[in-house]
């Protein structure tokens, strides 16, 4: 095989490689676009709906408002110098009482609606972050606090 047949075969191989690479690029770009469409709204809080001020969502919203106030109180009282980090975490957990002893009931109230589950999840993210950072300045937690507040009706914020 020489001459024109070899050139024809090489061109066919090159077209095949280009087609395969194009298919991989299209699939990759589709995956990236799909991920961006899902991740970006979640990061910036787009689409967060406040719980309606009606039963059963009202019980969830009121419970989350009480638990958020307890988190704020615990965080204020647990603030300490970095040398007392273990004590700050224990103090934070202690200050969550008595409100957080009722957390299971409030979680049940929130489980009755999809918006309630989102609100409950945002509250748990805030609690986890505050517990881990009980001994630091907490300005970094403002986005989490705003996320919890966005789920609550305006009169409970």
- pLDDT, tens digit, for every residue of 71-80? 888 877 766 5
Question: For the chain, what is the mean pLDDT?
Answer: 83
72 and 116 within one domain: yes
- Give the pLDDT confidence of 64-105 residue by residue, as tens digits: 999 999 988 887 776 655 545 567 777 777 888 888 988 999
**Same structural domain, 67 and 27:** no
Based on the fold, state whether residues 149 and 116 are members of the same structural domain.
yes
Determine the Cα–Cα distance for residues 118 and 127; give it in Å rounded to an integer.
Answer: 14
**What does the pLDDT read at residue 79?**
64
Nearest-angstrom CA–CA distance, 121 and 126:
9
pLDDT of 67 reads 93
Torsion over CA: 149, 153, 156, 157 (sign): positive
Block residue for tokens 């899902």? 38
Based on the structure, what is the number of domains in the chain?
2
- Tokens 């980090």 correspond to 85
Q: Which domain holds residue 86?
A: 57-156
Q: E strand or H helix at 107, and its extent?
A: helix 103-110
């Amino acid at each position: 095989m020489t001459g024109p047949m070899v050139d024809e075969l090489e061109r066919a191989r090159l077209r095949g490689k280009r087609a395969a690479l194009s298919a991989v690029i299209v699939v990759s770009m589709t995956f990236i676009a799909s991920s961006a469409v899902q991740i970006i709204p979640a990061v910036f809080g787009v689409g967060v709906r406040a719980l309606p001020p009606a039963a059963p969502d009202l019980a969830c919203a009121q419970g989350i408002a009480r638990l958020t106030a307890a988190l704020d109180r615990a965080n204020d009282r647990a603030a300490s110098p970095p040398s007392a980090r273990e004590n700050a975490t224990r103090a934070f957990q202690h200050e969550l009482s008595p409100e957080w002893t009722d957390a299971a009931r409030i979680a049940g109230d929130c489980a009755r609606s999809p918006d309630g589950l989102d609100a409950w999840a945002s509250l748990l993210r805030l609690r986890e972050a505050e517990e881990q950072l009980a001994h630091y300045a907490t300005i970094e937690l403002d986005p989490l606090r705003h996320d919890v507040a966005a789920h609550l009706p305006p009169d409970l914020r």
